[in-house]
Structure 1
Amino acid sequence: MEIPLRQWVMVLLQNDEVNAQRIALHLKLRVDTGRVYSPAKFLAASTTKEQLLDVVSTMLAFSVPPKIPPVSNGRGGRLYLGSHVNPKRENAVDALQDMLTLAGSSYRVNEARTGLELRIDETAQKALSSTVAAARTAQSGSAAEHLSTAWKCAYGRDPDPSKAYSEAIKAVESASQAVIEPSNAKATLGSMLGVIRNSPQRFSTAIPAPGQENDIELVSAMMQRLWKGQTARHGSQNPTRFETQREAEMAVHLAATLVQWLAAGLVQRTP
């Protein structure tokens, strides 16, 4: 699909040399097209295959429509109307997505249409999107944003496993603080695990643990695995071992499950 992808880039950039130059500068690419200086022609025809994917992903990021400022709803709140819609961009992104799908590419356009990400199971993708939507509540704090960032860092065009792992932990901390440690504005996953360890009877789940007084044990074990599994949290005299891609992916999916349970009220604080 290399040639169709290069054609896609050329069609969109041939009359927009200013934006093409911005993309080249952002990617630190030296434009060399001979006698006629044309960043668009260079990006479309003279980049390597790896650079071409970076160009496409950056084009998506740079062309995101601006958000519409929130307006008052007349009751003291604010309405967020989303972003402006650019039909030409939407059609181009649809064509790109179709091209990637038909070619069986290992990449796809991400859900926010702001870049490329590794293609994974569609069911997992939909589950993540549903969890992010459910976590956009005051009680869940910034869990949705952290989980979205974790997903992007794990599956995006430029994976950052350590950041993905860190953001996964932040997502769980945001979603669980109101349930587990509501009086501590500086609660961490570690401090919340301490609260659960000291008072497990204060929490319950939608599926009670049969024959056990500690109903929160499964949730605690999952949080403990996520917390203890982070290898790059602190520095020391020994070399820091950063999280691997596989560890980051497991952390993101583990965090998504915990955030979904907490956001849906399936884990509760007992009166």
Structure 2
Amino acid sequence: MTKSKANNSEREVMQIVQGQLTNDGAGVRLRRIIGTSELSQLDPFLLFDEFHSDNADDYIAGFPNHPHRGFETVTYMLAGRMRHEDNQGNSGLLTAGSVQWMTAGRGIVHSEMPEQENGLLWGFQLWVNLPARDKMTAPRYQDIAPEAIPEVKVKEGVWVKVIAGEVDSIKGPITAVATQPIYLDIKLQPKTTYKLDLPINHNAFVYVYGGAAQISAQAKLVTQGELAVLGTGGLVTLAATDADPVQLLLVAGQPLREPVARYGPFVMNTKDEIRAAMEDFQAGRL
């Protein structure tokens, strides 16, 4: 994985966050881990949700038409189907294993609706901030089918799906993203360990969605449904326990270090820009 410079220092676990159960959209039940009072943001990441239920009442209402401006949304589906449509005539269907990386830019109004009435719906949504220079760029989608996401067996008992970034010279399909993101879905069999390097200037987190992982030289135990905020450094050590396999997401990005003005689905740099976004939405200009 590309590093900004050589650095063998190990990242430690700085904080473990459990998040909170909440409802969003028209009543979708989900767990919010970034975007709460416990962890309001981790520059450049503004929000991170997991939705996971086989009860249709928890998800069937979906996310009807709503606006975005000034950031990117990343939806990664593990199970189920989600259809998206927008006010510019775009539509698509996210299926199990697929990813959508949407750059809202200057503005878009879209819906994300489950296309099923029974069975498991399971996935994640991440919000990634855009730098000031890109906040008013033209909207675009990168819809990535499951077969377009490479999976690398890095060693015996360790597999990595490369959504964004690079592992063992294998690059993920996401391109032209301002924060140089890394988004990996990692599976480790019991008693296995995986060490990888991250760019030392990136902020990073690990979210465990199955089993339990020991992270860093501290061997800090992070269990299912918990997010570990990583400190600075280059090297990250991930280990499965002796008993069970572990499934986790490792996400990293270059911090923007810019002012954040945020109101609902609008993320800009100043309050005046937020007011302009609200006026544009109300006037139908998004």
TM-score range, shorter chain: under 0.3
Bigger strand share: 2
Bigger helix share: 1
Which structure: larger Rg? 1
**TM-score, normalisation: structure 1:** 0.21
* Bigger RCO (CA 8 Å, 6+ sep): 2
